[in-house]
């Protein structure tokens, strides 16, 4: 394993556009540093005595080639990493290259993986007011096609001030302690129901078959409780294998696979003509959007019926009541919560 001086490459990182910073061995987040933030970072490093900063070109790097970049390391037979076990792949990179390593993804952009929490903290403290994240062009293209449901790309797609303004409106409600407390008892019940289901499904060896899918069900049930103010029945003992909630989970898994195929593979041919991967992605997105909208419409009907009741407004009602928010932005946000909640 290569041993590097602490923070040896962090300042060049801040000066480099289109950098991906891993939150952990499991997550990578794309950041582009604003010039004002860079000057603050430079002052910080200067004050702390970090004078021996190495250039970006000396950063340990996964071998890459024109057009395909370093994507070859995930190819079957010739590659040494398994893209389906990304956490293991990243740990192997950490063992081979050290705390900081860069990759050229599909010959299109550079990513930098940080494995030291101190370096990750420095990056986040200097990300600027409007950090530019990876764009998810495929998701943006799909949502442009479906203007009936999406006014914009949503928080997963939009950038700059537009992203900041929408995020501010949403997080104000989500991070209120009172909002969190209002769902505690119901969340606790979801967790208890999940435990009961696991005990029911447990086999003779003490294992739960297809446990990952069961976690998806628990995640969807939990997120829907906040986003839709409803129980979907995902963790019920008698949930049908082909239930509406299971279709939603399958669609999200297909969407995530589609994004990987479209965004992180060489030669983005889907931008020029509808490839097989693009068609599968659109189909999965349509299934997800239509199924989630069915749930959302039911929630909106419940709100109409109970509008005159003397009670605290739900999260969905609060978002819809904000005059500065377009109703389609609220719908996009709810759909994003359901999609991201299932997979993460």
Element (H, E) at 103: strand 100-105
Selected residue with higher pLDDT from 169 and 56? 56
Of 35-39, 52-56, 300-304, 340-344, least confident by mean pLDDT is 35-39
Query: pLDDT tens digits for 306-328?
Result: 766 666 777 888 888 877 777 88
- 31 backbone φψ class: left, alpha, beta (φ>0; ψ -120 to 50): beta
Query: pLDDT tens digits for 220-254?
Result: 999 999 888 888 999 998 888 888 889 999 999 99
Selected residue with higher pLDDT from 23 and 81? 81
pLDDT at 203 over 70: yes
Tell me the whole-structure pTM to 2 decimals. Answer: 0.73
Q: Is 335 exposed, middle or buried (0-12, 13-18, 19+ CB in 10 A)?
A: buried
Element (H, E) at 114: strand 109-114
The reported pLDDT for the residue numbered 50 is 59
The reported pLDDT for the residue numbered 97 is 94
Q: What is the arithmetic mean of pLDDT over 157-186? A: 83
The reported pLDDT for the residue numbered 307 is 67
Query: pLDDT tens digits for 260-313?
Result: 888 877 778 899 999 999 999 999 999 999 999 988 888 888 888 776 666 677
pLDDT at 92 over 90: yes
pLDDT at 39 over 60: no
211 vs 64, 201, 202, 241, 298, CA distance in Å?
36, 10, 10, 14, 29
Distance between CA 114 and CA 51 in Å, rounded? 20
CATH topology of domain 139-343: Cytochrome p450 (1.10.630)
Mean pLDDT over each residue of the chain, to the nearest integer? 81
pLDDT at 340 over 80: yes
Distance between CA 79 and CA 68 in Å, rounded? 13
The reported pLDDT for the residue numbered 109 is 84
pLDDT at 49 over 80: no
List the domain boundaries for the chain.
Answer: 10-134, 139-343
Q: What is the arithmetic mean of pLDDT over 135-158? A: 87
The reported pLDDT for the residue numbered 154 is 85
Residue with tokens 């019920």, as numbered in its chain:
236
- Residue 167: which pLDDT band, with cuts at 50, 70 and 90? confident
Percent of all residues in the chain with a pLDDT value above 70, rounded to a whole number: 83
pLDDT at 208 over 50: yes
């Amino acid at each position: 394993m290569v041993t590097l001086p602490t923070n040896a490459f962090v300042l060049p990182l801040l000066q480099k556009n289109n950098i991906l910073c891993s939150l952990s061995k499991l997550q990578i987040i794309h950041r582009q540093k604003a010039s004002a933030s860079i000057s603050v970072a430079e002052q910080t490093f200067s004050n702390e005595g970090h004078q021996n900063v190495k250039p970006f070109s000396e950063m340990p790097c996964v071998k890459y080639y024109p057009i395909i970049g370093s994507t070859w390391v995930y190819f079957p037979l010739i590659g040494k990493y398994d893209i389906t076990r990304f956490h293991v792949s990243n740990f192997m990179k950490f063992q081979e290259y050290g705390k900081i390593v860069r990759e050229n993804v599909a010959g299109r952009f550079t990513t930098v993986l940080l494995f030291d929490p101190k370096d990750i903290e420095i990056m986040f403290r200097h990300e600027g007011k409007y950090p530019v994240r990876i764009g998810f062009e495929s998701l943006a293209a799909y949502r442009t096609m479906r203007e009936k449901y999406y006014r914009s790309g949503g928080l997963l797609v939009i950038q700059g001030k537009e992203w900041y303004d929408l995020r501010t409106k949403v997080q104000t409600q989500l991070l209120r302690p009172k909002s969190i407390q209002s769902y505690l008892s119901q969340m606790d019940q979801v967790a208890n129901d999940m435990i009961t289901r696991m005990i029911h499904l447990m086999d003779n060896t003490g294992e739960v078959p297809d446990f990952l899918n069961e976690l998806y069900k628990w995640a969807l049930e939990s997120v829907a409780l906040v986003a839709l103010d409803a129980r979907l029945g995902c963790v019920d003992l008698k949930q049908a294998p082909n239930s509406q909630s299971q279709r939603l989970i399958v669609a999200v898994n297909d969407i995530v696979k589609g994004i990987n195929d479209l965004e992180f593979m060489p030669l983005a041919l889907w931008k020029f003509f509808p490839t097989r991967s693009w068609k599968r992605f659109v189909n999965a997105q349509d299934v997800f959007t239509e199924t989630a909208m069915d749930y959302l419409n039911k929630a909106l009907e419940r709100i109409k019926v109970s509008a005159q009741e003397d009670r605290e407004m739900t999260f969905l009602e609060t978002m819809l009541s904000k005059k500065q928010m377009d109703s389609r932005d609220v719908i996009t946000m709810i759909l994003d919560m359901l999609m991201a909640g299932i997979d993460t």
